[in-house]
Structure 1
Amino acid sequence: MSYVTEPRRPSMVDRRPSMAERRPSMANGRKPSVIPQLAGIEKPISPQTPETCDVLICGTGLVESILAAALAWQGSNVLHVDSNPYYGDTCATLTIDQLKDWVHSVNQHTPGFQGFSKALLYIPRPQDLVSRDYGIDLTPRVVFARSDLMSLLTKSRVHMYLEFQSLSNFHTFENDSFGKLQTSKEDIFTDQSLSLATKRHLMKFLKFIFEYDSLDNLALVESYKDKSIQDFLQDRFKLDGPQINELVYSLGLSASPDISIPEGLSRIRRYLVSFNVLGQFPVLFSKYGGPGEVSQGFCRSAAVAGSTYKLNCALQSFDPKTKLAKFSDGTSAHVTEKVVCSPSQAPPHASYVPEMKYEITRLITVVKKSCREWMAENETAAIVVFPTASLSTNNKYPVQVLIMGAGTGTCPVNQCVWYLSTIQKGEVARKDLEAALLKLEDSILRESEDGFDVSLDPEDIIVKPDGATVINSVKLGKSFKDFVPKEKLQYLFKLCFTQHTAVPPFGVVSSSLFDTSAEKPTTDGSGVIPDSTVIYSNMPSTEISYDGVVTEAKLLYEKIVGSDDDFFDVDFENEDEDNDTLTDVAAGDEDAIIDDDEEEHSKAFKDEMDFDL
């Protein structure tokens, strides 16, 4: 076994092929009208630092990268630097060797790695891992089909640089097994674990979600303002604990039980309105990596619009009087407007860095198993949620798990990456994650083991009209409790760390986090950066989705420009209708148009739900 204690010199040779290298714009004979083939974003053609820039952005995280592209297309002269030898900063996608460097830097409190702590990397058999075969996300994310990021990816044409895959299987841990979420009328009807009364109540609630904005429903929610969403679902819709857990923690992907009713309903609705927008799935993810891959897409767009990029280049100091920024490579630049800095990229002795009082504890592991049993046909990923009090540790907060198979381009064949996270703190958090890991291990071993005999009555096995088999999950769970695996799961890699953020759970960053009017900056030239001149962005939030990143980018944009009215207001020329479309990941068709008519979509759903039990 190997614990990482020694630093390695970062090497561009060790990195995985970049997004820019894998997806040149001229691929497949398609020639974008505005965004041409870009060479040199990974290895800048001109490494010289410009003498002057309008905006200096430090850190190539997702929010900063969106901001850089928006400003560049608006006409600003942007200098975008990162102290790391790769793109992504706090949301990078890293190889195994890059992770070794990252762990050492975090534990040594190296400048450029603020916002992370307590990192531990365990590799039992280093010889079994080829570094470049892996792309591990520091902050894994999925994107809802109907969301502001998906709209921006289409509007900005950045989706042309990325490959997306669908994810439709959401599982909830209950009765010692992982039940697949049922949200369609047919699935609810054929679920033998639900009573007729429960089915009726569940369908009534789903219809309510799409009529939520009516005055009567708003008044109803207001009458429950002093109660939890769990109380609301139980009192008003007579739903039981398992259904409430599925709605709040799986559909809503809520990281905490402490959530308001409006917020909880909004998160459940987010899932439902995203279903069938691009296919029979609610969310997608970018192949070869998550936010780190999307960050590169926006960096590439910004570079096309004229931004200058420098990696391995850290901001050392900024003089507010002369507006001179000095960098670690000995160069300098005059900044005429603003400096935007990621907390992780703050220079030595920087003041007014946002207080990061919220935590996310993450456990990432690679297992030698395909885990196909958890994934839908023709898909390579799934989501598993452990609700509160579902583990042996009596977990106070849910544990969210993102499962990524080999088809995602992030690990070799017959392996799988498991991303576990919780907003619990300290040693308790790690115990919760380890307990969830054991349940995942037990589940995949028994579900994949040949010849495992489950004792079920014939009436507990239902064949649906499409030929699929549905099994009573309650009795299945009881049977699984007596299961003894014939093999052990082989772990190739484990990484555990704590991430800090200023954004509260469920919170979308507010302009108050960027309000520096009351600050009294120091100007002694000691390298301290005053907040009246510099705007700090935030560490990634607890969200497993991308919700909130576009809002933060717009708020930062407004602080610099004065308004967000022209945020990505670019007249991209259209050579053909294909440029207005997003790849149909279900059918492999590049002519699938995103349907922005939510009212029409909601009506179609309500019509489908209009039936009598």
Structure 2
Amino acid sequence: MDEKYDVIVLGTGLTECILSGILSVEGKKVLHIDRQDHYGGESASLNLTQLYKKFRPGKEDTKPDGLGRDRDWNVDLIPKFLMANGELSNILVHTNVTRYIDFKQISGSFVFRSGKIAKVPSNRSEAINSSLMGMFEKRRLAKFLEFVGGYKEDDLATHQGLKLDTNTMSEVYLKFGLETGTRDFVGHSMALWTNDDYLKQPARETVERIALYLNSMARYGKSPYIYPVYGLGELPQGFARLSAIYGGTFMLNKPVDEIVYGEDGKVTGVKSEGEVASAPIVIGDPTYFPEKVKKTGQKVIRAMCILDHPVPNTGNLDSVQIIIPQNQVQRKNDIYIAVMSSAHNVCAKDHYLAIVSTIIETDKPHIELEPAFNLLGPRKETLMGIADIYEPIEDGTKDGVFISKSYDSSSHFESTTDDVKDIYFRLTGQPLVVKPRPENEEDESAIRAE
């Protein structure tokens, strides 16, 4: 401990581990500490005993019979999927962390509409047969998606008279004559917005989000999502291994007694068990800096549901995402359902894990999840947890302390990688440039999505 480092990182959540890995690769001397005895922090994957200890402390023996061995379970605390062509996938390839992790494709993406779920089309044939739209609306949607796929910033002929930085997304939808139900489906299951605030905003970000969805879908088919075998806890461990290969020092189960500051108010190190490790920069998650973060006012509820059957009306697929747009159930925020199975080594054989999440809107949050529970069928077990969402009060440039944001309720990691890039820029003054390696045979298998 009694050494000098360039950077000290507190907590082994995904955001912290990505930054630790990238900074180590860049030649920084990194010390990485976690007071917990396992990797992942708030984004860990827990076995059955750990799961019950967290959500039912003192009542670990209440778990149902027939759930198999402890080691068969890797339950994500923060359920999210990776976009096949998203920023996190690019970072994984760029840093070679793909050497340590295998991925499987998520078999289908579904959206709730008019009281039932329908598959989000993954190809032209599915679009033609989709129950989401009538024939004329399908043609209008096809023209809209052709516009998104063909848009080029430097080619005015592809703009169709639209200015993405000034036209709102409502105006873009209006130009293509899309119905309200189609706007719901596109905005929430493709652009992946959690509410309808985006309709009043300039259209550029939404168009870029839809393009990312389409490109990710085209990469593997079926769905735009991939997921690590053995759960999301593999991701922080992969980046931690990268950091260690490049000289990073890791200490788990190590208490953090004090953040040390100099007379000028700038951080100088971290104290633990009487020793002080020195560094001019400290990165960490909100739990290490309660006095330097604030609640956003939002809380996320997550329910871990154990099933012994596939989700009804999904064609017995081994993994799916289901989005319940807020308008469909008279809410302000969407409800997300992430479903995995023993095919992903996250639960025992013949079992399925459905994790439901949303932003809390009432004083009876468990009732808010009923629309999702109704889609799942009988549940063998349901474990619920509520978490506040925190963000740093300051940007870290004054005192050298850079704090990540809490993980939100969204179904993917794009907001997490935005936070990584934001912290990196504030810390170094340079943008994080992720350059995927030239495509060759090795790269094509770099993210293996079976």
| TM-score, normalised relative to structure 2 | 0.86
Q: CA deviation at 1:57?
A: 0.6
| Percent identical | 22
**Paired AA for residue 359 in structure 1:** K
Q: CA deviation at 1:411?
A: 0.6
Change in CA separation of 1:206 and 1:496 when aligned onto 2, cut-off 3 Å:
same
Q: Residue 206 of structure 2 aligns with which residue?
A: 264
Alignment match of 1:540 (pick from 407, 422, 438): 407
Q: Give yes or no for contact 2:20–2:32 (8 Å, CA) kept in 1.
A: yes
Q: CA deviation at 1:156?
A: 0.8
**d(CA) in 1 for partners of 2:428, 2:195:** 36
SS of 2:146 mapped into structure 1: helix
**Paired AA for residue 176 in structure 1:** G
Q: Residue 496 of structure 1 aligns with which residue?
A: 384
SS of 1:497 mapped into structure 2: strand
5 Å-filtered alignment, 1:101-500, equals 101-103=53-55, 123=62, 125=64, 128=67, 130-191=69-130, 194-212=133-151, 213=153, 215=156, 216-217=159-160, 219=162, 221=164, 224-225=167-168, 229=170, 232-233=172-173, 235-259=174-198, 260=201, 261-290=203-232, 292-321=233-262, 323-327=268-272, 330-346=273-289, 351-371=291-311, 374=314, 380-391=318-329, 394-441=330-377, 489=378, 491-500=379-388
What is the total number of aligned residue pairs between the two structures?
439
Change in CA separation of 1:50 and 1:178 when aligned onto 2, cut-off 3 Å:
same
Larger radius of gyration: 1
Q: CA deviation at 1:369?
A: 1.3
**Paired AA for residue 54 in structure 2:** W
Q: Give yes or no for contact 1:144–1:282 (8 Å, CA) kept in 2.
A: yes
Q: Give yes or no for contact 1:170–1:180 (8 Å, CA) kept in 2.
A: yes
Q: CA deviation at 1:584?
A: 6.2
**d(CA) in 1 for partners of 2:257, 2:31:** 15
String of CA shifts for 1:557-603, please: whole Å, max 9, x gaps.
344444346x6899x9x9x96544434645x5xxxxxxxxxxxxxxx
String of CA shifts for 1:382-438, please: whole Å, max 9, x gaps.
1111122434xx333221111112201101121111111112334354322123212
**d(CA) in 2 for partners of 1:396, 1:551:** 23
SS of 1:76 mapped into structure 2: coil
Change in CA separation of 1:403 and 1:313 when aligned onto 2, cut-off 3 Å:
same
SS of 2:90 mapped into structure 1: helix
Q: Residue 514 of structure 1 aligns with which residue?
A: 395
SS of 2:15 mapped into structure 1: helix
Q: Give yes or no for contact 2:118–2:131 (8 Å, CA) kept in 1.
A: no
**d(CA) in 2 for partners of 1:440, 1:243:** 24
Q: Give yes or no for contact 1:60–1:295 (8 Å, CA) kept in 2.
A: yes
**d(CA) in 2 for partners of 1:191, 1:579:** 36
**Paired AA for residue 557 in structure 1:** Y
Change in CA separation of 1:124 and 1:168 when aligned onto 2, cut-off 3 Å:
closer
Q: CA deviation at 1:160?
A: 0.9
SS of 2:363 mapped into structure 1: helix
**Paired AA for residue 334 in structure 1:** A
Q: Give yes or no for contact 2:335–2:356 (8 Å, CA) kept in 1.
A: yes
**d(CA) in 1 for partners of 2:403, 2:435:** 24
**Paired AA for residue 14 in structure 2:** L
Q: Residue 563 of structure 1 aligns with which residue?
A: 430
| TM-score, normalised relative to structure 1 | 0.65
| Unpaired runs of at least 5, structure 1 | 1-48, 108-119, 442-488, 504-508, 518-531, 589-613
String of CA shifts for 1:265-311, please: whole Å, max 9, x gaps.
33222211212224554221111112x21111000110111111111
Q: CA deviation at 1:50?
A: 5.0
Q: Does 1:76 align with 2:21?
A: no
**d(CA) in 1 for partners of 2:32, 2:315:** 39
Q: Residue 89 of structure 1 aligns with which residue?
A: 41
Q: Residue 454 of structure 1 aligns with which residue?
A: none
**d(CA) in 1 for partners of 2:207, 2:60:** 38
**Paired AA for residue 101 in structure 1:** K
String of CA shifts for 1:178-233, please: whole Å, max 9, x gaps.
111125322233347743322221111111212344544473556643xx64x752
**d(CA) in 2 for partners of 1:408, 1:250:** 23
SS of 1:337 mapped into structure 2: coil
String of CA shifts for 1:41-92, please: whole Å, max 9, x gaps.
xxxxxxxx35332211100011100111111111221110111111000111
Q: Give yes or no for contact 1:54–1:77 (8 Å, CA) kept in 2.
A: yes
Change in CA separation of 1:310 and 1:383 when aligned onto 2, cut-off 3 Å:
same
Q: Give yes or no for contact 1:255–1:400 (8 Å, CA) kept in 2.
A: no
Q: CA deviation at 1:368?
A: 1.5
**d(CA) in 1 for partners of 2:82, 2:47:** 23
**Paired AA for residue 436 in structure 1:** A
Q: Give yes or no for contact 2:117–2:313 (8 Å, CA) kept in 1.
A: no
Q: Residue 59 of structure 1 aligns with which residue?
A: 11
**Paired AA for residue 204 in structure 2:** P
Alignment match of 2:445 (pick from 573, 579, 582): 582
Q: Residue 593 of structure 1 aligns with which residue?
A: none
SS of 2:328 mapped into structure 1: coil
Change in CA separation of 1:546 and 1:390 when aligned onto 2, cut-off 3 Å:
same
93-102 or 193-202, which deviates more: 193-202
206-215 or 333-342, which deviates more: 206-215
